[in-house]
Amino acid sequence: MTAHQSLPKGFEDLQPFVDYWVRDTSDERWQQRSKASMEDIQCFYDAMLARAEDAIAYLDAFPLDRMPDDAACLFKLLLAIGQAAIAVEMHRQPRAHHSNFPHGINISQGPKFFGG
Amino acid sequence: MSAVLENEEILEGGSRENFTQMAGLDTGPVSVESYRSPELYEREREQVFGRAWLYIGRIEELPNPDSYFVKDIEVRKASVLVTRDKQGKISAFHNVCSHRGNLLALQPSGSQSRFTCAYHGWTYRNNGELIGVPDQGRFFDLDKKKLGLKSIATDIWEGFIFINFQPEPEVSLKEFLGSYGEVYAGVPLVNNHQTMVIEAKFNANWKLIADAFAEAYHVPKMHPATLAPGFAHPVKNKFARPLAGLTYGLHRSFSAYGDPEYVSPPDSHVERLACKIDTGSLLGADLSEEVLRLRAHPGVNPTKLPCWSADVTWIFPNFNIDYSPGGYWTHEFWPTSYNTTRWVLTIRMPIATTVRQRLQQEHYAARWGEVVLEDVTNCERIQKGLESGAINVMQLQDGEMLIRHSLHVLDKWMEADTVAEAMK
């Protein structure tokens, strides 16, 4: 995590979510969602969903492997909604029912481009 | 002996086939002793993992001459070095220096033509030959030719590398795979794909997690949100009865039902957003065109029914290659003690070319992670239940036939003095 991460112009409304949800790997995003309260997950989910199509359109202008820092920050924030959706759309709670946390499971190799 | 459903009509009320008896298996309760007995585990280590061919990796993990990887196989207390030499030959060795037994290669993978022991500098070529001994003149009658790395029998099927810990395997990999190797030969696996890997270490016998992937009966109850909507149907197949259950000598497969009309629910906004990508399945990450080639193979979805979600193919003892409309993945279920397991799930998918495709993959990764979590947590509970001694046998229904076949084959290997006898 870098100390100062900012989003591209036009996405300032998402800045409050950057510190918690912008992570470098799929595994870290999973951890963050698993540790968060349902209220916080829902709040991020609602805000990011509202801007998701805008974000995809904005990011499509850059090659996936050479994004400027602010675009990369937005990309990682967008990816975090993939995790938030598991809680909001599937479990209706932060983690799977009857599951343990912490646990000994890791996404040790995520998909290329900010998957780890 | 095998059975598949012949038409979709039958499925309306659930499968009426009896896959268990058609495979020649008994129908009575089955002992749970091998899931909780340290003594039986010690016997499994020798009789099963000491004699069976075991999957160790894919050829893509050794992309170039001089590529290598090292993997720990805890159940054999072995560190295994797998190399590709200059001529392209793939070999496996115990990753142990012949001098005083230190581990040789210390990185999990890389590219080098020779390996030097960090202790005293003995050096080996990647074909196993000992080529350098510092201050050799001070040894007594040292014969370098006899002091190469201890080799482990290696063979390859369809790009899957297998090893065998018997000094001279009693059966070849081809004989070991038997009809399984023929049925699944030539399945089009896209080898330029990237891999996503999920690893889990947990407190349960290795067979419990293998069993979890051997049946879909648990899906509606255990994975109500992550899997059930696509893998069962509230009217047509509410208990996720399988389309087929087949055995191939030591090995086995089943075809899982899938709802061909599944669409993301209206309030699953992210799933809908991410799944605008043209994948072969909403619950996969492979592209449609590749999936069509996969589906055309006669071994894949043998019933060819459209209501199909996945084939679980289980190579004895601990390896799965699973095919689905969304691509293919593998499971390695490695015992680390009688009641602990290391599970490696490797999912192949294309490298994303757009932001939306990458988001779809993130969603897919997140779903898989959650399925793994649900299964691991569940297995840990079963282990506690079994170790309590409350029950001595388990009841298996027809849809759980693969578990029965697995235990039947394991029993034979546990008893038999020779592999030939075990394979009868």
A80 belongs to a structural domain: yes
Which pLDDT band holds residue B136 (cuts at 50, 70, 90)?
Answer: very high
Q: Are B95 and B103 in contact (CB under 8 A)?
A: yes
Residues paired with B314 in a beta bridge: B252, B320
B325 and B382 housed in the same domain: yes
pLDDT of B42 higher than 80: yes
User: A56 to chain B: nearest residue by CA?
Assistant: B355
* DSSP-derived secondary structure for B184-207: TTT----TT-EEEEEEEEESS-HH
Q: Is residue B46 part of a domain?
A: no
Q: Three-state SS for B245?
A: strand
pLDDT grade for B26, boundaries at 50, 70 and 90? very high
* Domain hosting residue A84, numbered range: 37-94
**Range with the lowest mean pLDDT among A57-61, A99-103, B13-17, B389-393?**
B13-17
Average pLDDT for residues A50-59, to the nearest whole number? 97
Assigned domain for A87 exists:
yes
Q: How confident is the model at residue B286 (pLDDT cuts 50, 70, 90)?
A: low
Residue pair B150/B93 in contact (Cβ under 8 Å)? The answer is: yes
Report yes or no on B416 lying in a domain. yes
* pLDDT score for A31: 97
Would you tell me which residues 79-108 of chain A have a C-beta closer than 8 angstroms to some C-beta of chain B?
79, 81-86, 88-91, 95-96, 98-100, 103-108
Are A112 and B352 within 8 A, CB to CB?
Answer: yes
> Would you call A63 an interface residue with chain B, using a CB distance cutoff of 8 Å?
no
Residue B7 has pLDDT above 70, yes or no: no
Total count of domains within chain B: 2
What average pLDDT score do residues A52-56 get? 97
pLDDT surpassing 60 at residue B10: no
- Contact flag B377-A110 (C-beta cutoff 8 Å): no
**Mean pLDDT score, B268-281:** 75
Give the whole-number percent of chain B exceeding pLDDT 90.
76
Summarised one tens digit per residue, pLDDT across range A12-31 is 999 999 999 999 999 999 99
Q: Is B355 within 8 Å of A64 when comparing Cβ atoms?
A: yes
* Same domain membership, residue B417 and residue B280: yes
Q: In this predicted model, what pLDDT tens digit does every residue of B178-211 receive, in sequence order?
A: 999 999 999 988 767 899 999 999 999 999 999 9
Domain containing residue B351: CATH number: 3.90.380.10
In Å, how far is B344's CA from the nearest CA of chain A? Answer: 10
Q: How far A4 CA sits from the closest chain B CA (Å)?
A: 24
Do B23 and B58 belong together in one domain?
Answer: no
A32–chain B nearest CA distance, Å: 12
CATH number for the domain including B87? 2.102.10.10
Is B181 inside a domain boundary?
no
B316: Cα separation from own chain's centroid: 9
- Per-residue confidence (pLDDT) for residue B368, from 0 to 100: 93
For B249, counting Cβ atoms within 10 Å of its Cβ (0-12 exposed, 13-18 middle, 19+ buried), the class is middle
Q: A50 or B295: which carries more pLDDT confidence? A: A50
Residue A96 phi/psi, 5° resolution?
-55, 145
B202–A90 CB contact, under 8 Å: no
* A9 in a structural domain: no
Q: Give the residue-averaged pLDDT of B240-256.
A: 94
Lowest model confidence (mean pLDDT) among B180-184, B195-199, B279-283, B324-328: B279-283
Across residues B31-45, what is the average pLDDT?
Answer: 98
Total domains in chain A come to 1
Taking residues A49-55, what's their average pLDDT? 97
pLDDT one-digit tens code per residue, B92-115: 999 999 999 999 999 999 999 999
Q: Among A91-95, B17-21, B65-69, B372-376, where is mean pLDDT lowest?
A: B17-21
Please indicate whether residue B268 or residue A38 has the higher confidence score (pLDDT): A38
Can you tell me whether residue B23 is helix, strand or coil? coil
Establish if B176 belongs to a structural domain.
no
Asked if B329 and B374 sit in the same domain, the reply is yes
Average of pLDDT values for B349-353?
91
Note down the domain range covering B256.
2-38+187-422
- Asked whether residue B174 is assigned to any structural domain, the reply reads no
**Residue in A closest to B223 by C-alpha:** A96
CB B47 within 8 A of CB B274: no
Residue of B nearest to A78 (CA): B359
Q: Where are the beta strands (DSSP E) in B203-356?
A: 244-248, 251-257, 308-315, 319-324, 327-337, 340-349
Asked if B219 and B228 count as a contact pair (C-beta separation under 8 A), the reply is yes
Residue type, B204: A
**Is residue B309 in a domain?**
yes
- Looking at the structure, do residues B154 and B28 belong to the same domain, yes or no? no
For residues B238 and B324, state if they share a domain. yes
Q: Is 0.85 exceeded by the ipTM? A: yes
